[in-house]
Structure 1
């Protein structure tokens, strides 16, 4: 078996093992759900975050977990990437000679805990009729030669179930920009066309950054997903198997500002996606 095939099989098996060990649905005061995703993407040339492959192709295995508890919620995921990665200059890197990245695989993880002060204070009903939950939000990001630590506030809009729209506003400390801000809206919108259920979900991270002059600029990362519930139209269990597309768009300053205009680099990477929900 080819080295990359063995590596791919090992990552799939490891992700499934971890997922099987995670708690299934819920204690009396909470809810939890776990899913695993397989994505195959193209046109990856993201030099800032290292998702920059020789042929633009990258395979991703993602393990997602979301849970709620009496006073808040948690979201965490682990991404495992497979591709022929280049360094930030565009040069291929290999094995032990690699600097930032190397050919093969790498992992990236995030954890998003929130503490809802409305639940701590026993508030009944939405705040101002708009905010269902509100309170403190944190985030930890760790990957190859990258880290970011974020803290701030977050809220959920008061929408009828099962629609959710949330937003977190952070102070961000990371490898590239030590003192910046970030706004992160996210959403989950189920809908149906005839007998076929769909799911539109995703997030946008809008953050302060610096160009090569050290001037202030904006970094935007968006990852919307459009998925179809594969089994439900045929009488199978709903919300179990989804298939569709995730589209990564990352726009960031790639050079110096000229006349107040920042030279920007935009990554636009479509990914075919399959998702299996364990519970």
Structure 2
């Protein structure tokens, strides 16, 4: 892999490595397999996705990142040994000011600074904004994020995807678990809406809605009674106007998670 080909992705990885030391961190490796659609050709291919993911808390906020390694076995310029990553560090207003922030069901407000990068399309996006963390009974966390979507990509002149005008992102993400003493299920995921944009050629990039809930079963708990290590389940992906096209995707993917 030549470094000059993926400046956005390398910058994202560098930012992640420079993040403050975590007080609490949970790292996992995920494998997904399902038939995903290339929205530019309309072809659907079975695609393997290996994900490295970490959720962490530190003194003044949180951090969440993942890096996907995607391969669909078809050399069509889409998901061809592609690498895609996102990172979302936050600064908690409550922790920074050492005060309790409580507005009805909202338990905290944070400043969020997101980064998205893709190797196939040579894309880099910045997502500065605000997060509201909610008190929802039965859930580990429920967050709503409202951010700008600022394009810092190099565009077609440098072999990447067309640059786009700036837009906004609204995202809700959640996590909970349920079950019995011997059987545990997890329900995690997120849903995002991204506003429409215009690319460097003057064409519309449509607004889109992406919903990705995961339902998992703690297999390690069923095997050894301790659990919280090996999970199996599914991820359902609904993507309306996938990547700003007119393609709508509905797909269920196999999901295996190994959690450290």
Which category describes the TM-score, using the shorter chain as reference length?
A: 0.7 to 0.9
Structure 1 residue 246 and structure 2 residue 235: aligned?
yes
Q: CA deviation at 1:194?
A: 7.3
Rounded to whole Å, the distance in 2 between the matches of 1:264 and 1:211 is 15
Change (3 A) 1:142 1:103: closer
Change (3 A) 1:154 1:109: same
Q: Which piece of structure 1 moves more, 241-250 or 194-203?
A: 194-203
Change (3 A) 1:149 1:70: same
Structure 1 residue 45 and structure 2 residue 38: aligned?
yes
Alignment equivalent of 1:121, drawn from 97, 111, 120 = 97
TM-score by length of 1: 0.72
Alignment equivalent of 1:264, drawn from 241, 246, 260 = 246
Rounded to whole Å, the distance in 1 between the matches of 2:205 and 2:84 is 27
Q: CA deviation at 1:117?
A: 0.9
Change (3 A) 1:102 1:166: closer
- 1:109-157 CA-to-partner distances (Å, cap 9, x unmatched) read 1111111111111112x41232222121111111021222111100211
User: Whose Rg is larger?
Assistant: 1
Matching of residues 40-189 of structure 1 within 5 Å? 40-47=33-40, 55-85=44-74, 93=76, 101=77, 104-124=80-100, 126-143=101-118, 144-145=120-121, 146-160=123-137, 163-174=140-151, 176-189=163-176
Contact 2:70 2:79 in 1 (8 A): no
Q: CA deviation at 1:186?
A: 0.2
- 1:150-176 CA-to-partner distances (Å, cap 9, x unmatched) read 111002112457521011100112355
- 1:24-50 CA-to-partner distances (Å, cap 9, x unmatched) read xx86xx210000011111142333xxx
Change (3 A) 1:216 1:272: closer
Q: CA deviation at 1:217?
A: 4.7
Structure 1 residue 236 and structure 2 residue 199: aligned?
no
5+ unaligned residues in a row in structure 2: which ranges? 1-16, 154-162
Change (3 A) 1:236 1:42: same
Change (3 A) 1:81 1:216: closer
Q: CA deviation at 1:215?
A: 6.2
Match of 1:32 in 2: 25
5+ unaligned residues in a row in structure 1: which ranges? 1-21, 86-91, 94-100, 256-262
Q: CA deviation at 1:237?
A: 2.2
Contact 2:188 2:213 in 1 (8 A): yes
Rounded to whole Å, the distance in 2 between the matches of 1:53 and 1:69 is 43
Q: CA deviation at 1:80?
A: 0.2
> RMSD of aligned C-alpha atoms?
2.8
SS for the counterpart of 2:95 is helix
Rounded to whole Å, the distance in 2 between the matches of 1:237 and 1:201 is 21
TM-score by length of 2: 0.77
Residue-pair matches, total: 227
